[in-house]
Structure formats: structure tokens, C-alpha cells
Amino acid sequence: MTRSCALTLLALVAACHHAKKPTTMPLPTPVAPAPTTEAKATPPQPVSTNLTAGSDLVEKCALQVSHETPQFDFNKFELTAQDRSVLEQVATCLTTGPLKGKQLELVGRADPRGTEEYNMGLGDRRAHTVSEYLEHLGVSHVEAKTRGALDATGTDESGWAHDRRVDMQVN
């Protein structure tokens, strides 16, 4: 019996030992990403002494693009006469013009000199100065925020001057 059990066991092992042909799954074919039809956002354009505007705002509100770099004076957040003139055009455009009812986003910026906390506060004051003037002109959908010096690129006085501004963009 031992011998017959051993032979049976050997027969079973031999029968089970047949290697199955492995099943293979085809590898997934790489799919190229679909081309996007989105246009790349153009950088804000200077429109006054201290302000830049997105291309949609420039185009729809017929703002004149300035050839000067926007730049608040060092450590300042007061609007110039040129700023107020541009903001009056923007207010008209947002209250009765082609962008009526649209939300306007303001981003206050500062140069990298000073502490992060100070620069965030200065950028905030710049954005809120613009916001308050627009609200005085009847614009109700304004969001003011700050980036301080987080995106500053200047390394000297002329570069730092460019960092001191408020960017306007329609959402």
C-alpha cells in the first residue's frame, strides 16, 4: 500500500506539474494627450502709472496700453491722476459697458525688499486702494488680494519698480 500510495502521489504530482501557458495581457497603447485649444494667457499689460490689465480688459474696455512700466513709488500705495483716469474707464466698462456684471480680480504686488509680512501688507493696501476707488465709482464685483513679493523678479531698482503694481484681471 505504501508503494501504491507513492505511485499515486507521483502520478498526481506529474499530472499537476504541467506548466500552463501563461496568459498575457497586451500592453496598453500609449495615448497622446489631446491637443488643447486653450490660448496661453498673455501677461498683464501696463495701462497706467501703477496698474496692469489682462488682455481681455484692455480689449473690451478699450484701454490704452502704456509704454511705461507700472510702479508705485517705494513704500507707497496712493493712486495717481493717470491711475484714476484708467479706473474710471474700467468702472464704466464693468457697470454699463461690455463687461457689465463681470468680477474683477485685483492683485497687489511689492518688490522683495522688506519682510514677507510687510510686503504682503503693502500689496494688500495697494489692491484695496484700487478696489475702494472702483467701488466709489459703482463697481460692486471686485476681489482684492495680495501676492506681496512672492512673484517679484527684480534684482535692481528698475526691476523692483516693475514689481510694485496692481494687476487687474476679469474673471
Evaluate if residue 5 carries a pLDDT over 70: no
**Residue 72 to residue 78: CA distance in whole angstroms:** 8
Instruction: Confirm if 68 and 46 have CB atoms less than 8 A apart.
Output: yes
pLDDT value of position 9: 47
pLDDT grade for 158, boundaries at 50, 70 and 90: confident
Instruction: Give the model's pLDDT for residue 74.
Output: 80
pLDDT score of 164 more than 60:
yes
Domain boundaries of the chain, sorted by first residue: 49-170
Is a pLDDT exceeding 50 seen at residue 75? yes
C-alpha distances in angstroms, 96 versus 56, 89, 139, 166? Answer: 16, 11, 10, 23
pTM over 0.75: no
Instruction: Report pLDDT for 16.
Output: 47
Angle, helices 81-95/116-136, rounded to nearest 10 degrees: 60
Q: All 3 cell numbers of residue 49?
A: 502709472
Only one residue has cell 495581457, namely 25
At 138 the pLDDT is 96
pLDDT digits (tens, 9 = 90+) for 10-62: 444 444 444 444 433 454 555 555 444 444 456 788 898 889 999 999 999 99
Closest by Cα among 44, 52, 58 to 72? 52
| pLDDT the model gives residue 139 | 96
Q: What value does the mean pLDDT take over residues 131-159?
A: 95
- Indicate the pairing of strand 104-109 with strand 166-170: antiparallel
pLDDT in tens, 77-109: 999 989 999 999 999 999 999 999 999 999 999
Which class would CATH give 49-170? alpha beta
pLDDT of residue 36: 46
